[in-house]
Amino acid sequence: MKWLLVPVLLVLMGLVVYSLVRGIGAFLHSTRMDLEHDPASGPSPSQLKQNKMMFNRILFQGLAVLVVALLLAAGSSS
């Protein structure tokens, strides 16, 4: 079981980093556009992308924490 969970954990960690980098990229790209964007027209596409990337990062981090908990539980029962 441990040998299955370790690669899953590594993939989830990679997805966390990927989401974080894409979210930061969207944030850096949006600063100029957001200054010129009318707030009454709703969120800009860049803001929506930032929001999606942050949600993905939190989701992948939560799944990674769950996998770590499973690894700890499997390690303590051995």
What is the value of pTM for the model shown?
0.82
- How confident is the model at residue 2, as a pLDDT? 80
- How confident is the model at residue 78, as a pLDDT? 60
Q: How far apart are CA 59 and CA 39, in angstroms?
A: 28
- State the residue range of the domain holding 59: 2-77
Please compute the mean of the pLDDT values over residues 66-72 and round it to a whole number: 95
34-61: pLDDT as tens digits: 777 777 888 888 888 999 999 999 999 9
- Say how many domains are in the chain: 1
* Count of other CB atoms within 10 angstroms of residue 47: 16
